[in-house]
Amino acid sequence: MHVVFIEPRFPTNQVHFVRALKEVGATVTAIGEGSKESLSDNLKRWLTHYQQVDNVVNERSVMQAAQFIHSRHRIDRIEAVVEAHIMSTAKVREALGIEGTSVRTSWLCRDKPSMKEALRQAGVPCAQSSAASSLEELVAFARQVGFPLILKPRDGAGASGTVRCDSLADLQRGAAELGVDKGRSVAVEEFIEGHEGFYDTITIGGRIVHDFATHYYPNVLEAMRTRWISPQFITTNRIDSAEGYQELRVMGARVVRALDIGTSATHMEWFAGPKGLKFSEIGCRPPGVRAWDLHNVANDIDLYREWAMAVVHGRPGARASRRFATGIVALRPECDGRIVGYEGVQAIERRFGEYLIDLHLPPEGSGTQPVSAGFMANAWMRFKHPDYDQLRQLLNIVGQTVKVRARS
């Protein structure tokens, strides 16, 4: 099978998708923005051909490159795994008659109001939501649903650009911040109270063959706006044994069917609270923040290879062991500026070294990144443990112990 992969160089984990495709027997070609000289030695060895374009989100550029490749060696699949690349790749795929995720599915997995409408029609429980392109439409939605509300870009990922509004004044500020006063259409939703997590899958022909449930502590919106919190997310190893996850799995399978997702990785966000389990949003791609690293360690599996097996052979190659729960704790600098040192790291390594997966401590003198930049923007540590509850306690201790000292 000949697979064309979009942008093999960045982010850095893209190389693993190319490696996995090659390992399972595919002929791999890539389209990317850098020169051939910028490719690593491994990429040069794994790729049969590489085609440079000015921009991989430019449909015309990718189309021309794909047509050139297709004319010389028939393309069986063309794959993209970064959110920004999904739609342009789908349009090229569809224009060339190549099997894979459709333009419709790509749109529904990116445009939040359209996504929610399609899922509500399929019986998937979602927050009340709408699209709005004026303050008047936002106010009308607020009067109908009540506060608090969430505003976000229609095609935003995660908490990027997300604004919570608790009053009309907040709504006006949020609308201005997101450009509604300039005619930009945004997604507006009721705020769902409850615990937040995500559900990741690999699907083959619309059937989920691998799945993983992960919990946020605290919820993302709070975590990305509160400096003193050392936020965590933890992948459970109880998804097969704890009764409560069955409802999540049923909902995930219904989402896959409703959006006509065939063979793909997916990343779904969910809430569980007083109003029950609610679907939040989906990406037709793997999760960000290197979450697959945690799934791999937790389950003695290589999900890059499993993704490649799905794409190339239409079957899984391994089973998840569920041996460990795994998690990350983000460690925030005490202020914006320059890092001047760390406290508590050696104590944690002595106490929990056997459970430590890896860590990242930017060197002294490094500039800090804002809290809103995410879990891996500054320092972080990742751990595993056979018991989920003990892992959560461990991560709490790490967050309380390790201090990232900075000077503005």
Tens digit of pLDDT for each residue in 173-202?
Answer: 999 999 998 889 999 999 989 999 999 999
Q: How far is CA 76 from CA 5, 28, 29, 39, in A?
A: 11, 10, 11, 23
Residue 158's pLDDT band, with cuts at 50, 70 and 90, is: low
What is the pTM for the complete model shown? Answer: 0.94
Q: What is the reported pLDDT for 87? A: 96
Q: Which domains does the chain have, with CATH numbers?
A: 2-100 (3.40.50.20), 128-190 (3.30.1490.20), 193-323 (3.30.470.20), 324-408 (3.30.470.20)
Q: What is the reported pLDDT for 154? A: 86
d(CA 353, CA 150): 40
Residue written as token pair 């615990």: 195
Residue 159's pLDDT band, with cuts at 50, 70 and 90, is: low
Residue 161, phi-psi category: left (phi > 0), alpha (psi -120 to 50), beta (remainder) = left
Residue 345's pLDDT band, with cuts at 50, 70 and 90, is: very high
DSSP code string of 276-344: EEEEEEEESS--STTHHHHHHHHHT--HHHHHHHHHHHSS---------EEEEEEE-BSSSSEEEEEES
d(CA 301, CA 132): 43
Question: Mapping DSSP to helix (H, G, I), strand (E, B) and coil, where does residue 208 land?
Answer: strand
Q: Are 87 and 93 in contact (CB under 8 A)?
A: no
Q: How many helices (H) and strands (E) does the chain have?
A: 14, 18
Q: What is the reported pLDDT for 155? A: 78
| Per-residue pLDDT tens digits for 43-95 | 999 999 999 999 999 999 999 999 999 999 999 999 999 999 999 999 999 99
Structure tokens at 256: 């896959």
| Per-residue pLDDT tens digits for 4-56 | 999 999 999 999 999 999 999 999 999 999 999 999 999 999 999 999 999 99
